[in-house]
Amino acid sequence: MPITPAIKYSEIAAYNDWKVPTGSPLLSASAWIMLPLLRIGKGSLQPVLTVPGYPITLGVAVESAGSTPLIDTNGFSFDGVKLSASIDVAATSNRLTFSLVVLQLQLPGETTAQDTSLASLEAISATQILNTASALFISALSNLSRTQRRRPLICYRR
């Protein structure tokens, strides 16, 4: 059985992350880009920006810097979001694709948190949407009532 050489490709990539604020961080933000350069294999060397299937990928993510979720209230929690885009300059169709992922999303009534894509969010049932909306509304009301206890609604002057 003949052995065929593997096709590999090389790319340039850059990644950076920031902690916000820098002293005791609450958020971690990151950005990245990957630019494919060359396809190597089967005795040839070929630039890949002119070949479909080798997209330029870039993205950003914002997530909690600690071990606790960014938002955690009334059964609803998530740790952050990740957005990425792929640009395939040589493709004849679908040159641009996007991906949005909610990191460690847990909806009211669910037992575990998981990374959830935008497509999965689109498939959420009406009951889950109502449960989530009511949990967020109750949370907002409780935050408002805590704020209002600190300052009176009506101020009497003599």
Residue 158 lies in a domain: no
Q: Which domain holds residue 48?
A: 8-150
The larger pLDDT score, comparing residue 149 to residue 52, is at 52
75 in any annotated domain: yes
Q: What is the mean pLDDT of the chain?
A: 83
Q: Is residue 53 part of a domain?
A: yes
pTM (whole model) above 0.85: no
Number of domains in the chain: 1
> Collapsing DSSP states into helix, strand and coil, what is residue 138?
helix
Q: pLDDT band at 141, cuts 50/70/90?
A: confident
In a domain, 20, yes or no: yes
User: What sign for the dihedral angle of Cα 100, 75, 134, 29?
Assistant: negative
Predicted confidence at residue 119, as pLDDT, reads 85
Q: What is the pLDDT of residue 10?
A: 82
**pLDDT at position 32 over 80:** yes
Residue pair 79/101 in contact by the 8 Å Cβ criterion: no
| Domain membership flag for residue 58 | yes
Report pLDDT for 152. 54
45-89 pLDDT, tens digit each: 888 888 898 899 999 999 988 888 888 888 888 899 999 999 999
Q: What is the pLDDT of residue 15?
A: 95
Q: How would you label 114-145 residue by residue, b for 16+ Cβ within 10 Å and e otherwise?
A: eebeeeeeeeeeeeeeebbeebeeebeeeeee
Cα gap 15→59, rounded to integer Å: 10
Is 3 inside any structural domain? Answer: no
Q: Confirm whether 1 is domain-assigned.
A: no
Q: Is residue 85 part of a domain?
A: yes
pLDDT for residue 126: 83
Residue 149's pLDDT is: 54
Does residue 158 surpass a pLDDT of 60? no
Is residue 40 within 8 A of residue 11, CB to CB? The reply is no
